[in-house]
Amino acid sequence: QKPKVIFSGIQPTGVPHLGNYLGALLQWRTLQDSFSSSFSSASSPSNRLLFSIVDLHAITIPRPAHQLSADKKQMLASLLSIGLDPSLCTIFYQSMVPAHSELQWILSCTASTGYLSRMTQWNYPILQAADILVHKATHVPVGEDQRQHLEFARECVTNFNAAYGCQVLVPPETMVTERAKRIMSLSDPAKKMSKSDPSVKSRVLITDSPEAIKTKIMGAVTDSLAEGKVTGYEPETRPGVANLLEILAAFGGQQGKKTVEELGEEMRGTGLKELKTKTAEAVTEGLREVREKYEGYMNSEKQGKMMEEIIQTGAKRARESAEETMREVRGVVGL
Protein backbone atom coordinates (compact mmCIF):
# COMPACT_ATOMS: atom_id res chain seq x y z
CA GLN A 1 0.00 0.00 0.00
CA LYS A 2 1.35 3.42 -0.99
CA PRO A 3 1.97 5.75 1.94
CA LYS A 4 -0.52 8.56 2.33
CA VAL A 5 0.50 12.16 2.76
CA ILE A 6 -2.34 14.27 4.10
CA PHE A 7 -2.21 18.04 4.18
CA SER A 8 -4.73 20.47 5.58
CA GLY A 9 -4.54 24.11 6.59
CA ILE A 10 -6.46 26.53 8.75
CA GLN A 11 -6.26 30.28 9.00
CA PRO A 12 -5.00 31.78 12.26
CA THR A 13 -8.37 33.07 13.39
CA GLY A 14 -7.76 32.88 17.14
CA VAL A 15 -9.86 30.44 19.14
CA PRO A 16 -12.06 28.28 16.83
CA HIS A 17 -15.85 28.27 17.17
CA LEU A 18 -18.11 25.22 17.16
CA GLY A 19 -18.46 25.40 13.38
CA ASN A 20 -14.69 25.21 12.85
CA TYR A 21 -14.45 22.47 15.46
CA LEU A 22 -17.26 20.21 14.26
CA GLY A 23 -16.87 21.10 10.57
CA ALA A 24 -13.10 20.76 10.24
CA LEU A 25 -10.87 20.26 13.28
CA LEU A 26 -12.59 17.19 14.66
CA GLN A 27 -11.96 15.51 11.28
CA TRP A 28 -8.25 16.27 11.73
CA ARG A 29 -8.33 14.63 15.11
CA THR A 30 -10.19 11.60 13.73
CA LEU A 31 -7.67 11.29 10.90
CA GLN A 32 -4.82 11.39 13.35
CA ASP A 33 -6.42 8.76 15.54
CA SER A 34 -7.15 6.44 12.61
CA PHE A 35 -3.62 7.01 11.32
CA SER A 36 -1.83 6.43 14.58
CA SER A 37 -2.48 2.69 14.39
CA SER A 38 -0.95 2.56 10.92
CA PHE A 39 2.15 4.51 11.94
CA SER A 40 3.64 1.56 13.68
CA SER A 41 2.76 -0.94 10.98
CA ALA A 42 5.61 -1.83 8.66
CA SER A 43 3.27 -2.00 5.65
CA SER A 44 2.85 1.79 5.61
CA PRO A 45 6.06 3.15 7.06
CA SER A 46 5.73 6.75 5.97
CA ASN A 47 2.12 7.86 6.24
CA ARG A 48 2.37 11.53 7.05
CA LEU A 49 -0.05 14.12 8.41
CA LEU A 50 0.69 17.81 8.00
CA PHE A 51 -1.45 20.53 9.54
CA SER A 52 -0.54 24.11 8.78
CA ILE A 53 -1.66 27.35 10.38
CA VAL A 54 -1.65 29.39 7.20
CA ASP A 55 -0.47 32.83 8.28
CA LEU A 56 0.60 33.88 4.78
CA HIS A 57 -3.00 33.50 3.63
CA ALA A 58 -4.12 35.54 6.62
CA ILE A 59 -2.22 38.65 5.55
CA THR A 60 -4.38 39.12 2.45
CA ILE A 61 -6.43 41.10 4.97
CA PRO A 62 -3.85 43.04 7.03
CA ARG A 63 -4.33 43.28 10.77
CA PRO A 64 -2.05 44.73 13.47
CA ALA A 65 1.11 42.60 13.91
CA HIS A 66 0.45 41.87 17.60
CA GLN A 67 -3.05 40.71 16.66
CA LEU A 68 -1.77 38.23 14.08
CA SER A 69 0.80 36.86 16.57
CA ALA A 70 -1.90 36.42 19.19
CA ASP A 71 -4.29 34.77 16.71
CA LYS A 72 -1.58 32.32 15.61
CA LYS A 73 -0.73 31.38 19.16
CA GLN A 74 -4.39 30.91 20.08
CA MET A 75 -4.95 28.67 17.07
CA LEU A 76 -1.88 26.61 17.92
CA ALA A 77 -2.98 26.21 21.54
CA SER A 78 -6.45 25.24 20.29
CA LEU A 79 -5.11 22.56 17.94
CA LEU A 80 -3.05 21.04 20.74
CA SER A 81 -5.98 21.29 23.15
CA ILE A 82 -8.35 19.36 20.87
CA GLY A 83 -5.83 16.54 20.95
CA LEU A 84 -3.58 16.93 17.93
CA ASP A 85 -0.40 15.20 18.98
CA PRO A 86 2.88 16.57 17.59
CA SER A 87 4.43 13.12 17.83
CA LEU A 88 1.83 11.87 15.32
CA CYS A 89 1.43 14.88 13.05
CA THR A 90 3.43 17.85 11.87
CA ILE A 91 1.97 21.17 13.01
CA PHE A 92 3.58 24.32 11.62
CA TYR A 93 3.17 27.97 10.71
CA GLN A 94 3.16 28.29 6.93
CA SER A 95 5.51 31.32 6.97
CA MET A 96 8.24 29.26 8.64
CA VAL A 97 8.51 27.13 5.50
CA PRO A 98 9.58 29.52 2.71
CA ALA A 99 9.28 26.76 0.09
CA HIS A 100 5.51 27.35 0.12
CA SER A 101 6.00 30.83 -1.33
CA GLU A 102 8.81 29.72 -3.63
CA LEU A 103 6.63 27.05 -5.20
CA GLN A 104 3.77 29.53 -5.42
CA TRP A 105 5.87 31.73 -7.71
CA ILE A 106 7.05 28.80 -9.80
CA LEU A 107 3.49 27.51 -10.21
CA SER A 108 2.23 30.96 -11.11
CA CYS A 109 4.54 30.91 -14.15
CA THR A 110 2.81 27.87 -15.67
CA ALA A 111 -0.71 28.16 -14.20
CA SER A 112 -3.45 28.43 -16.79
CA THR A 113 -5.46 31.58 -16.46
CA GLY A 114 -8.97 30.21 -17.08
CA TYR A 115 -9.82 29.45 -13.47
CA LEU A 116 -7.76 32.33 -12.12
CA SER A 117 -9.56 34.92 -14.22
CA ARG A 118 -12.77 34.00 -12.41
CA MET A 119 -11.19 34.52 -8.99
CA THR A 120 -11.27 37.86 -7.20
CA GLN A 121 -7.57 37.56 -6.60
CA TRP A 122 -4.85 35.35 -8.06
CA ASN A 123 -2.29 34.75 -5.37
CA TYR A 124 -4.54 33.01 -2.89
CA PRO A 125 -5.46 29.92 -4.96
CA ILE A 126 -1.90 29.47 -6.25
CA LEU A 127 -0.48 29.63 -2.74
CA GLN A 128 -3.14 27.16 -1.66
CA ALA A 129 -2.07 24.82 -4.47
CA ALA A 130 1.57 25.24 -3.46
CA ASP A 131 0.74 24.39 0.18
CA ILE A 132 -0.52 21.00 -0.96
CA LEU A 133 1.91 20.26 -3.79
CA VAL A 134 5.09 21.24 -1.96
CA HIS A 135 4.54 18.27 0.36
CA LYS A 136 3.37 15.98 -2.45
CA ALA A 137 0.16 15.50 -0.50
CA THR A 138 -1.82 12.57 -1.86
CA HIS A 139 -4.98 13.36 0.08
CA VAL A 140 -6.59 16.60 1.15
CA PRO A 141 -9.62 16.67 3.44
CA VAL A 142 -11.70 19.58 2.19
CA GLY A 143 -15.19 20.89 2.66
CA GLU A 144 -17.65 21.08 -0.22
CA ASP A 145 -16.84 24.78 -0.66
CA GLN A 146 -13.17 23.98 -1.28
CA ARG A 147 -13.54 21.40 -4.03
CA GLN A 148 -12.77 23.79 -6.87
CA HIS A 149 -9.55 24.93 -5.19
CA LEU A 150 -8.39 21.33 -5.16
CA GLU A 151 -9.39 20.96 -8.80
CA PHE A 152 -7.20 23.99 -9.50
CA ALA A 153 -4.28 22.40 -7.62
CA ARG A 154 -4.59 19.37 -9.91
CA GLU A 155 -4.60 21.71 -12.91
CA CYS A 156 -1.37 23.30 -11.60
CA VAL A 157 0.18 19.82 -11.51
CA THR A 158 -0.84 19.09 -15.11
CA ASN A 159 0.44 22.46 -16.32
CA PHE A 160 3.75 22.26 -14.50
CA ASN A 161 4.49 18.65 -15.41
CA ALA A 162 3.58 19.34 -19.06
CA ALA A 163 5.69 22.50 -19.26
CA TYR A 164 8.79 20.67 -17.99
CA GLY A 165 8.05 17.22 -19.41
CA CYS A 166 8.23 15.59 -15.98
CA GLN A 167 6.17 13.81 -13.34
CA VAL A 168 7.63 15.69 -10.39
CA LEU A 169 4.39 17.06 -8.96
CA VAL A 170 1.70 14.71 -7.74
CA PRO A 171 -2.04 15.36 -8.18
CA PRO A 172 -3.83 15.28 -4.81
CA GLU A 173 -7.08 13.43 -4.20
CA THR A 174 -10.05 14.78 -2.32
CA MET A 175 -10.52 12.95 0.90
CA VAL A 176 -14.08 12.02 1.64
CA THR A 177 -14.63 12.10 5.35
CA GLU A 178 -17.96 11.68 7.09
CA ARG A 179 -20.80 13.99 6.09
CA ALA A 180 -19.51 17.49 6.60
CA LYS A 181 -21.45 19.19 9.35
CA ARG A 182 -22.60 22.71 8.84
CA ILE A 183 -23.23 24.51 12.09
CA MET A 184 -25.54 27.49 11.96
CA SER A 185 -25.46 30.80 13.83
CA LEU A 186 -27.19 30.74 17.22
CA SER A 187 -28.63 34.19 16.53
CA ASP A 188 -29.87 33.46 13.01
CA PRO A 189 -30.15 29.81 11.93
CA ALA A 190 -30.35 30.90 8.27
CA LYS A 191 -26.67 31.89 8.41
CA LYS A 192 -23.70 29.66 9.15
CA MET A 193 -21.84 30.14 12.40
CA SER A 194 -18.93 32.43 11.58
CA LYS A 195 -16.25 34.44 13.32
CA SER A 196 -17.14 37.39 11.11
CA ASP A 197 -20.64 37.65 12.63
CA PRO A 198 -20.66 40.85 14.72
CA SER A 199 -22.81 39.18 17.39
CA VAL A 200 -20.58 37.22 19.82
CA LYS A 201 -23.72 35.42 21.03
CA SER A 202 -24.02 33.80 17.60
CA ARG A 203 -21.14 31.41 18.25
CA VAL A 204 -19.71 29.25 20.99
CA LEU A 205 -15.92 29.25 21.14
CA ILE A 206 -14.30 25.96 22.06
CA THR A 207 -12.76 27.61 25.13
CA ASP A 208 -15.93 29.34 26.38
CA SER A 209 -16.73 29.01 30.09
CA PRO A 210 -19.68 26.82 31.14
CA GLU A 211 -21.60 30.03 31.95
CA ALA A 212 -20.95 31.50 28.50
CA ILE A 213 -21.93 28.24 26.80
CA LYS A 214 -25.15 28.12 28.79
CA THR A 215 -26.08 31.74 28.08
CA LYS A 216 -25.42 31.42 24.36
CA ILE A 217 -27.20 28.11 23.86
CA MET A 218 -30.22 28.93 26.07
CA GLY A 219 -30.51 32.14 24.04
CA ALA A 220 -30.31 30.37 20.67
CA VAL A 221 -32.96 31.49 18.20
CA THR A 222 -35.33 28.64 17.31
CA ASP A 223 -39.01 29.01 16.30
CA SER A 224 -42.50 28.95 17.78
CA LEU A 225 -43.83 25.97 15.85
CA ALA A 226 -45.34 22.77 17.32
CA GLU A 227 -45.99 24.34 20.73
CA GLY A 228 -42.26 24.62 21.35
CA LYS A 229 -41.58 20.92 21.00
CA VAL A 230 -39.10 18.90 18.98
CA THR A 231 -40.72 17.26 15.92
CA GLY A 232 -37.66 15.46 14.54
CA TYR A 233 -34.64 16.59 12.53
CA GLU A 234 -36.02 19.06 9.98
CA PRO A 235 -33.25 21.39 8.79
CA GLU A 236 -35.42 22.90 6.02
CA THR A 237 -38.46 23.87 8.08
CA ARG A 238 -36.96 24.14 11.59
CA PRO A 239 -33.28 25.12 11.09
CA GLY A 240 -32.79 26.45 14.63
CA VAL A 241 -34.01 23.24 16.25
CA ALA A 242 -32.10 21.12 13.71
CA ASN A 243 -28.93 23.05 14.52
CA LEU A 244 -29.24 22.28 18.24
CA LEU A 245 -29.87 18.62 17.44
CA GLU A 246 -26.81 18.63 15.17
CA ILE A 247 -24.66 20.04 17.97
CA LEU A 248 -26.10 17.69 20.58
CA ALA A 249 -25.59 14.66 18.31
CA ALA A 250 -22.00 15.70 17.63
CA PHE A 251 -21.31 15.79 21.35
CA GLY A 252 -22.61 12.30 21.88
CA GLY A 253 -26.37 12.83 22.00
CA GLN A 254 -28.10 11.71 25.18
CA GLN A 255 -26.58 8.28 25.68
CA GLY A 256 -23.92 7.19 23.28
CA LYS A 257 -23.38 8.09 19.65
CA LYS A 258 -26.41 8.52 17.41
CA THR A 259 -27.05 10.08 14.05
CA VAL A 260 -28.79 13.41 14.18
CA GLU A 261 -31.86 11.84 12.54
CA GLU A 262 -32.03 9.16 15.24
CA LEU A 263 -31.63 11.79 17.93
CA GLY A 264 -34.39 13.90 16.35
CA GLU A 265 -36.75 10.92 16.47
CA GLU A 266 -35.81 10.03 20.01
CA MET A 267 -36.40 13.59 21.22
CA ARG A 268 -39.73 14.04 19.45
CA GLY A 269 -42.09 15.79 21.87
CA THR A 270 -39.32 17.19 24.07
CA GLY A 271 -39.65 20.88 24.91
CA LEU A 272 -37.16 23.25 23.27
CA LYS A 273 -36.01 24.52 26.67
CA GLU A 274 -35.05 20.98 27.62
CA LEU A 275 -33.33 20.50 24.25
CA LYS A 276 -31.29 23.63 24.92
CA THR A 277 -30.45 22.57 28.48
CA LYS A 278 -29.27 19.17 27.27
CA THR A 279 -27.27 20.71 24.45
CA ALA A 280 -25.59 23.22 26.77
CA GLU A 281 -24.70 20.43 29.19
CA ALA A 282 -23.31 18.17 26.47
CA VAL A 283 -21.22 20.98 24.96
CA THR A 284 -19.92 22.04 28.38
CA GLU A 285 -18.97 18.47 29.23
CA GLY A 286 -17.58 17.73 25.76
CA LEU A 287 -15.35 20.80 25.80
CA ARG A 288 -14.22 20.56 29.42
CA GLU A 289 -10.90 18.93 28.64
CA VAL A 290 -10.24 21.23 25.67
CA ARG A 291 -10.84 24.28 27.85
CA GLU A 292 -8.60 23.02 30.66
CA LYS A 293 -5.76 22.16 28.30
CA TYR A 294 -6.09 25.52 26.59
CA GLU A 295 -5.82 27.38 29.88
CA GLY A 296 -2.66 25.41 30.57
CA TYR A 297 -1.07 26.26 27.23
CA MET A 298 -1.92 29.94 27.45
CA ASN A 299 -1.18 30.54 31.13
CA SER A 300 1.75 28.38 32.10
CA GLU A 301 5.24 29.49 31.19
CA LYS A 302 6.44 25.91 30.91
CA GLN A 303 3.69 24.97 28.48
CA GLY A 304 4.26 28.20 26.57
CA LYS A 305 7.86 27.08 26.04
CA MET A 306 6.59 23.67 24.99
CA MET A 307 4.41 25.27 22.33
CA GLU A 308 7.42 27.16 21.03
CA GLU A 309 9.36 23.88 20.75
CA ILE A 310 6.44 22.14 19.06
CA ILE A 311 6.19 24.83 16.39
CA GLN A 312 9.97 24.85 15.81
CA THR A 313 10.10 21.07 15.47
CA GLY A 314 7.03 21.10 13.22
CA ALA A 315 8.58 23.77 10.98
CA LYS A 316 11.83 21.82 10.73
CA ARG A 317 9.99 18.66 9.68
CA ALA A 318 7.83 20.58 7.22
CA ARG A 319 10.91 22.28 5.73
CA GLU A 320 12.52 18.88 5.19
CA SER A 321 9.36 17.54 3.58
CA ALA A 322 9.09 20.60 1.31
CA GLU A 323 12.78 20.64 0.48
CA GLU A 324 12.63 17.10 -0.95
CA THR A 325 10.08 18.31 -3.48
CA MET A 326 11.83 21.61 -4.14
CA ARG A 327 15.13 19.92 -5.02
CA GLU A 328 13.32 18.05 -7.78
CA VAL A 329 11.32 21.12 -8.85
CA ARG A 330 14.43 23.34 -9.08
CA GLY A 331 16.17 20.52 -10.91
CA VAL A 332 13.60 20.21 -13.71
CA VAL A 333 13.18 23.98 -13.99
CA GLY A 334 16.93 24.58 -14.08
CA LEU A 335 17.14 26.83 -11.04
Binding site for ligand ADP (CB under 6 A): 10-11, 13, 19-20, 23-24, 143, 181-183, 192-196
CB of 20 to ligand ADP, least distance (A): 4
Instruction: Give least dist CB 44 to ligand ADP, A.
Output: 26
Considering beta carbons, is residue 18 or 310 the nearer one to ligand ADP?
A: 18
Q: How far is the CB of 99 from ligand ADP (least distance, A)?
A: 23
Nearer to ligand ADP, 90 or 202 (CB): 202
Judged by CB, which is closer to ligand ADP: 27, or 325? 27
Nearer to ligand ADP, 111 or 183 (CB): 183
d(CA 331, CA 334): 5
The CB-based long-range contact list for 126-132 (8 Å cut-off, 24+ gap) reads: 126/156, 127/56, 127/57, 127/100, 127/101, 128/9, 128/57, 128/152, 128/153, 129/104, 129/153, 129/156, 130/100, 130/101, 130/103, 130/104, 131/7, 131/9, 131/52, 131/54, 131/94, 131/100, 132/7, 132/172
Closer residue to ligand ADP (CB): 132 or 169: 132
**Minimum Å distance from CB 226 to ligand ADP?**
25
Smallest gap from Cβ 70 to ligand ADP, in A, equals 16
Q: Do residues 111 and 159 make contact, with C-beta atoms less than 8 angstroms apart?
A: yes
Supply φ then ψ for residue 99, to 5 degrees: -60, -25
